[in-house]
Structure 1
Amino acid sequence: MTEHTLSEAEYDAITDAAAHWCMRLHANDCTGQERLAFEQWRDAHPLHAFEYEAMLEIWEVAGDLPSPAPVVPIVRPKPKTPWRTFGMAAAVCALALPLAAYSGWHLGWVPNSYQHFEASGNVRHVTLNDGTEVELNLGSELTYSNYKDHRQVTLKKGEAFFSVSHDTRHPFVVKAAEGRIRVTGTQFNVWMYEDKVKVNLIEGSVLVTSNDDLPGDGLRLGPSMQANYGPGDFIPRISQTYDNDTSLAWRQGKLVLDDMALSDALPLINRYLDQPLVVADHNTGSIRIGGIYNIKDINGLVKSLPRVLPVYLTRNQSGNLVVNSIPQKPSKS
């Protein structure tokens, strides 16, 4: 049985339907019957769900647009036939949307290019539309939007290494958690764990701010410097990196734990786990761990902990694995 190949017209019809459902489901007057009809449409073909998710991402970008000025409602006679209302609305949208997109681009509100990337089972190398090269760590996700006055990446989760295409007139901005990193052309790494962000600069310079709502461009990093910030930080915390820094070993598929406390190692381990590993108490967290591990087999690392450390594993009520230290027997006097 041969698989049916969609024609361009059929594909365009699915895209149009996805746009229609995206607008209707975000409308205040969307009915339960419409939502049921949408679910039936979405489940009818895998491409329906794919196109709708893509439309949601574009809708999310559009959420940053300025709110339109309030419109005074005009009372008009009720149309005689519903199809005429729908036809007129469709005609208006067909004319207004291209104009809005054109105006939005020139005002710097709407991107003319949008990309979405995820890395699941492997470290992934991608090229953005501006020529920037990006490596994505496992479990990472980002979007790229090209605006008239800047290029913008939103790191939704995980970690990414950027080799930014140089363009002084078109700055490159990475949004991560509450802050941002602004550059024109350089190499740097951004890691977001929960609501904390770490930026490592390899080459060039970047400006880092801990909160996108704060005035100014933030603090400048030079090569071999890093910045850390989290919720409520007024400014990032700046520090130096060293030649033996192993934080970028993930690019070679490795996790390097260099004789560090278990509590400090957990964030590095947990970024590769579906459910985070936790330590039972401070004494357990102070146990040292070292070694080089394959980032594709961090579950194997977790299972091996009782064999290499004086610990045992249990589960808490949330289903997380808990590392417990083995009580030391008192020494005989």
Structure 2
Amino acid sequence: MLMGKRDEQTIDDEALEWFVLLGDEDASDDDRRRFEAWRAADPRHDRAWRELERLWGGLGHRAVADAARAGAHRPGPAVAPIRRADRAPPRLGASRRQGLSVAAAVMLAIAVGWQMTPAGLLADYRSGIGERQTVRLEDNSQVELSSASAMDVSFGPGRRYVTLLAGEAFFTVAPDPQRPFVVRTGQGDITVLGTAFNVRLGDSASVAVAQHTVEVSAAGEAVRVGEGEMVRFGPAGVSAAETADLDAISAWRHDRIVFSDLPLDQVVAELQRYHRGRIQLVGGGMADKRVTAVFDTGRIDAAIGTIAESLGLRVMQVPGLLTLIMPG
């Protein structure tokens, strides 16, 4: 199986899990030893932990305390907003760990909201969250940008280069045998003469070919991918070709998202691309729950509520900032 490099978001999530575990009164000496081993294993782990400590010590945001109280409480509705409390609530008997989980997730979302620069802010072409954009290039090729996507374009004698910086795009390339069309990504390159295909970025990138053939180059190997096939590619190379579900892959072009027996953590990652504010799983035993559904990209909150109800989970929201999905 092709594996992508662990990204900064994964490390932040791991730091958050350690933060919650060590904040629990039942944390053991063995837990602390394992934490120190994790922290020493990679300089990025230590940086993520120090940043989390700094934010916790200096944030002072009312939503953190409110979220901790709301996380310990078990509200009735499937989707419940976290609201400002005018006075301290009565003592609640639910898990302190869950309250810490919610508070820490809110804290991290606030920090990300303050610090994050939108991907591709200076790109030649970009789309906002929940937006699609169609770009007609000077050679008459067409690129459809999905939500939160960005690209740079560089055409010249003997070359046509497009760099996909973020997100996902569908390319319909005008033939020009004298100037191959190359899509560059941080994971590898795709070279074509005239064809139609979908490229998606993530831990590893993927390409699905709708017409003709492309050549995918990554980690020193080059693989031809034919019509109706898809591959994933990245620092570990190019995966074996598999049959592409082109209707599902390109559903975003019609403002739809299709999930077919996908684990919840992958579903959340996809919904995140269309949602303003962080979506966070809080608690164990949820990531591998399976989801099969079709949703409208313009109604992500409704999609989250439907998923929660069908899986027996519950959702709380800090409006515009954070959506928490928790065990029911």
Fold match (TM-score > 0.5): yes
> In the alignment, residue 172 of structure 1 is paired with which amino acid?
F
Q: What pairs up with 1:292-303 in 2 under 5 angstroms?
A: 292-303=294-305
CA 1:283–1:244 in 2, change beyond 3 Å: closer, same or farther?
A: farther
Identical pairs, percent:
26
The aligned residue for residue 284 of structure 1 is 286
Q: What pairs up with 1:108-123 in 2 under 5 angstroms?
A: 116-120=124-128, 121-123=130-132
The aligned residue for residue 84 of structure 2 is none
The question of 1:133 aligning with 2:137 is answered no
> In the alignment, residue 188 of structure 1 is paired with which amino acid?
F
Q: Deviations over 1:111-163 (max 9, x none)?
A: xxxx9222225322221011101111121111211022210001111111001
Q: Following the alignment from structure 2 to structure 1, what is the Cα–Cα distance between the partners of residues 205 and 214?
A: 15
Tell me if structure 1 keeps the 8 A contact 2:225–2:241. no
RMSD of the TM alignment (CA)? 2.5
The aligned residue for residue 230 of structure 2 is 226
The aligned residue for residue 78 of structure 2 is none
Q: Deviations over 1:241-266 (max 9, x none)?
A: 25575111001110112232212322
Give the secondary-structure state (helix, strand or coil) at the position aligned to 1:263. helix
Q: Following the alignment from structure 2 to structure 1, what is the Cα–Cα distance between the partners of residues 311 and 184?
A: 38
CA 1:143–1:239 in 2, change beyond 3 Å: closer, same or farther?
A: same
Q: What pairs up with 1:255-294 in 2 under 5 angstroms?
A: 255-280=257-282, 283-294=285-296
Using the size of structure 2 for normalisation, the TM-score is 0.57
Of structures 1 and 2, the one scoring higher in RCO (CA 8 A, sep 6+) is: 2
Match of 2:180 among 171, 187, 209: 171
Give the secondary-structure state (helix, strand or coil) at the position aligned to 1:131. coil
Q: Deviations over 1:274-319 (max 9, x none)?
A: 3442334562012222222111221332244433321123589xx7
CA 1:221–1:170 in 2, change beyond 3 Å: closer, same or farther?
A: same
The aligned residue for residue 254 of structure 2 is 252
The aligned residue for residue 190 of structure 1 is 199
Give the secondary-structure state (helix, strand or coil) at the position aligned to 2:241. strand
Give the secondary-structure state (helix, strand or coil) at the position aligned to 2:295. strand
> In the alignment, residue 219 of structure 1 is paired with which amino acid?
V
Structure 1: runs of 5+ lacking an equivalent: 1-55, 58-114, 327-333
> In the alignment, residue 136 of structure 2 is paired with which amino acid?
T
Give the count of matched residue pairs.
Answer: 205
Whichever of the two has the greater Rg, that structure is: 1
Using the size of structure 1 for normalisation, the TM-score is 0.56
Structure 2: runs of 5+ lacking an equivalent: 1-120
The aligned residue for residue 200 of structure 1 is 208
